[in-house]
Amino acid sequence: MAALDLFGRRWNLRIVWELQHGPVGFRALQQRCDNMSSSVLRQRLTELVDAHLVAQRADTTYTLTDLGRSAHQALRPLARWSDTWASTLGEDGQKPIP
């Protein structure tokens, strides 16, 4: 239940997803996350750091920890399913719910 609570909070999954390719600075991460507010991003990063999924490096960039990388790997089947779902909805002219 703790993982569902953590990942159920808006933006937390997106932040983990956006950090998959390596360290990212605060402003770049904010842009990748549709320019979410700075205060919300700081709050979510604090939650993810406290959960040991994200770490802030000495150069102030954010990166996934080993635990964060394993969480990202666990999300990959959901991403594949999402692609299938989007394709299926696209076939009959419907769009996915945002």
Domain boundaries, the chain: 2-84
CATH classification for the domain delimited by 2-84, as one of 1.10.10.10, 1.10.10.60, 1.10.4080.10, 3.30.70.20: 1.10.10.10
Alpha carbons 15 and 30: distance in angstroms, whole number? 9
**Per-residue pLDDT at 4:** 84
- Which pLDDT tens digit goes with each residue over 17-50? 999 999 999 999 999 999 999 999 999 999 999 9
Q: Which two tokens stand for residue 65?
A: 């920890």
Q: Which of 58, 47, 60 is nearest to 15 (CA)?
A: 47
pLDDT score, position 92? 59
Per-residue pLDDT tens digits for 72-87: 999 899 889 999 998 9
pTM given for the model = 0.82
Q: What is the pLDDT, as a whole number, of residue 1?
A: 85
